[in-house]
Amino acid sequence: MNLRTLLLIWISLSYNLSSYSAENFIYCSEATPAAFNPQVTTDGTSNNAAAHTLYEKLTTFQYGSTTIIPALATSWELSPDQKKYTFQIRKNVLFHTTSYFKPTRPLNADDIIFSFERMLDPNHPYHLIGGGNYEYFSGMDMGNLISKIEKINDYEITIHLNKPEAPFLANLSMSFMSILSKEYAMKLLKEKKPHLIDLQPIGTGPFKFHKYVKDTVIRYKKFEHYWGKAPAIENLIFAITPDASVRYQKLKAKECHLIIEPLPYDLASMQDDPHINLLDKAGLNIGYLAFNTQKPPFNNKLVRRAIAHTLNRDSYIQAIYLGNAIVAKNPMPPSLWSYHHDIKPYSFNLKKAKDLLAQAGYPQGFKAELWTLPVTRPYNPNGKKMGEMMQADLAKIGIQVKLISYDWPTYLKKSRDGEHQMIQLGWTGDNGDPDNFLHTLLGCSAVEAGSNAAKWCHKEFDSLITQAKIISSRKERSALYLKAQEIFHEELPWIPLAHSKIFRAMSPEVTGYKIDPLGGDIFKTVDLLSSEKEGTSP
């Protein structure tokens, strides 16, 4: 066999190697999921791999928006004292049948109680399985909020709360409140293999788990007996591809149908490529510069305002986000209800900034430290570069800034301990409720919890957002949040910097895909155009 023959064989094989086949939808994801159970994970990768494919919740967000709609619950009622939610459970919902589990009954109240009590009750047989850390459940304070879950009958339950909580339904729609099968859990317990509950998943979602090869591929099959409209694609495949440049090359080589998080500097070439569809959507996020309001000179709001007038945020949008973001003025994104549109942002005005600084007693400026974000996040893709631009801006009013950064774990620990003066941070919303931004990031209780990086506890602001938590009327809540945003603007514990867009790139054959504002990838309604389905098969 000569070299030419070998090359010909190689080329003929390569054509089969690179093309995807009919009925397979290949999604190039960015990392390995931590587990296949949203109760015990917090990252977006794991949510895509489990919560959005395999599991469902009592309520959910409408595809592509943050509106709450029924899912495994068909309807619900709130008691007059706003402390009891009664849910009607959907009938004839089946759990997945797989090689490792065959359910004998459909979903009922026991499954819902089992799923919640695993996280709630420290004496539950599954509580400590997998370490017993339910970070989201604890983080959203659900343990202190839920007092009791009562089974009325097989298809009706009541959740009793310790206090009224307006964002409760939004919390229920989050991934960590997914419903697992009690029957499967009991089978695993009997077989003395309870740890498998987080690794070999059984849910009621539109896809069922087929196979997982670590760090390589996750395979799902369409769940034929799904209670809603079954997915159009037969096989959903997650090809784990950590490098964003490689994901782009794979999309071009037709090895993926859809890729997550393209690099900002690849966006222009993707836009020009007729074989790629680039989608974008305003993200539910915010990047900000927080001041440690417990340390001088940042305990003086005149200094904070002076800095707000000094930072040229438009230039950051162009240089750091490559134009793919908007300047922020409030501590939450504009797509959230109750966003205060009438607030006037702090303009770039050096004269005003110098005057404010002089009024504050620092006419010559001062020396300070600014911590730059050590990780790449959609809300701040390049903390170091942004820090350098801020340093140059602040020098114009005499503030000599020393840039500091640590690795991510250290950065988080030190900021929680309040060692910083100015710090870059950000947040991506979990549930589309303003409380998730205002209370989580600026509430007095968040000072101790660590997520209030400004260490800012403003009594009036805190009372407004705490009040808004217990009122169910959206109109009344909105009024309170509008007032809270005005106080924020006046006091300025941090400078809102930007709200970035979310991007996804996909093959033009893909239909029925929408970007989720909460950042997840959902494939329930995805399909491929018929030409693609008739394409090359292995």
Partner 1 sequence: MKNFILKRSKDLLPTLIGVSLLSFFLVRLIPGDPVMLMLGERGANPEVYMEMKQKLGLDQPIIFQYFTFIAKAFQGDLGESLISKTSVVEEFFSRFPATLELGMASLLFALTFGIPFGVIAAVKRNGFLDYFLMTMSLVGYSMPIFWWGLILIITFSLNLGLTPVSGRLNIIYDIDPVTGFYLIDTLLPSTLSHYGLKPFFSSLAHLFLPAIAMGTIPLAVIARMTRSSMIDVLDEDYIRTAKARGISAHRIILIHALKNALIPIITVLGLMFGSIITGAILTESIFSWPGIGKWLVSSITARDYPVIQAGVLFIATFIVLINIGVDFLYTLVDPRMRKELQKVNKKRAASPTDKAPPQNEGDPL
Q: Out of 6, 75, 131, 296, name the contact with partner 1 by CB under 8 A.
A: 131
Residue 491: CB minimum distance to partner 1, A: 21
Of 80 and 122, the one with the shorter C-beta distance to partner 1 is 122
Please, what is the angle between helix 109-120 and helix 182-190, to 10°? 60
**Residue 252 in contact with partner 1, rule: CB under 8 A:** yes
Of 381 and 426, the one with the shorter C-beta distance to partner 1 is 426
Residue 380: CB minimum distance to partner 1, A: 12
Of residues 35 through 54, those in contact with partner 1 by CB under 8 A are 35, 40, 42
Residue with tokens 């949040």: 481
- Among the listed ranges 85-93, 126-134, 467-475, 525-533, the one in contact with partner 1 (CB under 8 A) is 126-134
Q: Out of 150, 224, 314, 448, name the contact with partner 1 by CB under 8 A.
A: 448
- Residue 252 CA: distances (Å) to CA of 241, 245, 261, 270, 473: 14, 11, 15, 10, 49
- Convert residues 398-417 into a mask of x (bound to partner 1 by CB under 8 A) and - (unbound): --------xxxxx-xx--x-
Of 195 and 352, the one with the shorter C-beta distance to partner 1 is 195
Provide φ and ψ at 7, rounded to 5°. Answer: -65, -40
Of 184 and 238, the one with the shorter C-beta distance to partner 1 is 238
Nearest to 102 by CA among 24, 27, 183: 183
Residue 463: CB minimum distance to partner 1, A: 20
The token pair at 463 is 């009372």
Of residues 14 through 33, those in contact with partner 1 by CB under 8 A are 14-18, 20-21, 24, 26
- Residue 138 CA: distances (Å) to CA of 130, 196, 455: 16, 23, 21
- Among the listed ranges 80-88, 105-113, 180-188, 252-260, the one in contact with partner 1 (CB under 8 A) is 252-260
Q: Out of 69, 253, 395, 529, name the contact with partner 1 by CB under 8 A.
A: 253
Q: Do 456 and 409 form a contact (C-beta atoms < 8 A)?
A: no
Q: Out of 69, 392, 449, 529, name the contact with partner 1 by CB under 8 A.
A: 449
Residue 427: CB minimum distance to partner 1, A: 6
* DSSP string across 180-233: --HHHHHHHHHTT-GGGGGTS---SSSEEEEEEETTTEEEEEE-TT-SSPPPS-
The span from the CA of 32 to the CA of 18, in Å, is 22
The span from the CA of 483 to the CA of 465, in Å, is 9
In terms of DSSP H, where are the helices of 221-323?
Answer: 244-252, 267-272, 301-310, 313-319
Residue with tokens 């620092």: 362
**Residue 274 in contact with partner 1, rule: CB under 8 A:** no
Of 90 and 250, the one with the shorter C-beta distance to partner 1 is 250
Of 53 and 300, the one with the shorter C-beta distance to partner 1 is 53
Asked if the peptide bond before residue 297 counts as cis, ω within 30 degrees of 0, the response is yes
**Residue 171 in contact with partner 1, rule: CB under 8 A:** no
* Plot region of 44 (φ>0 → left; ψ -120 to 50 → alpha; else → beta): alpha
Task: Report which DSSP code applies to 448.
Answer: H
Of residues 133 through 162, those in contact with partner 1 by CB under 8 A are 133, 135, 138-139
Residue 276: CB minimum distance to partner 1, A: 13
Burial grade of 4 (CB within 10 A; 0-12, 13-18, 19 or more): exposed
Q: Do 52 and 71 form a contact (C-beta atoms < 8 A)?
A: no
Nearest to 379 by CA among 504, 246, 261, 242: 261
- Convert residues 196-225 into a mask of x (bound to partner 1 by CB under 8 A) and - (unbound): --xx----------xx-xxxxx-x------
The token pair at 526 is 């995805």
Q: Out of 11, 99, 104, 364, name the contact with partner 1 by CB under 8 A.
A: 11
Judged by CB under 8 A, the number of residues near partner 1 is 67
Residue 462: CB minimum distance to partner 1, A: 16
Of 80 and 409, the one with the shorter C-beta distance to partner 1 is 409
Those residues whose C-beta lies under 8 Å from the C-beta of residue 286, and which sit 6 or more positions away, are: 328, 331, 332, 333, 379, 426, 427, 437, 496, 497, 498, 499
- Among the listed ranges 13-21, 169-177, 342-350, 463-471, the one in contact with partner 1 (CB under 8 A) is 13-21
Of 62 and 245, the one with the shorter C-beta distance to partner 1 is 245
The span from the CA of 315 to the CA of 386, in Å, is 10
Q: Out of 65, 97, 249, 349, name the contact with partner 1 by CB under 8 A.
A: 249
- ∠ CA 287-265-504, nearest 5°, is 75
Residue 483: CB minimum distance to partner 1, A: 25
Of 360 and 444, the one with the shorter C-beta distance to partner 1 is 444
The token pair at 38 is 């949203």
Q: Out of 70, 398, 450, 512, name the contact with partner 1 by CB under 8 A.
A: 450
Q: Strand, helix or coil at 155? A: coil
- ∠ CA 341-342-343, nearest 5°, is 100
Of 35 and 202, the one with the shorter C-beta distance to partner 1 is 35
Of residues 304 through 343, those in contact with partner 1 by CB under 8 A are none
Residues in touch with partner 1 (CB under 8 A): 10-11, 13-18, 20-21, 24, 26, 34-35, 40, 42, 128, 130-133, 135, 138-139, 195, 198-199, 210-211, 213-217, 219, 237, 239-243, 245-246, 249-250, 252-253, 255, 406-410, 412-413, 416, 425-427, 440, 446, 448-452, 538
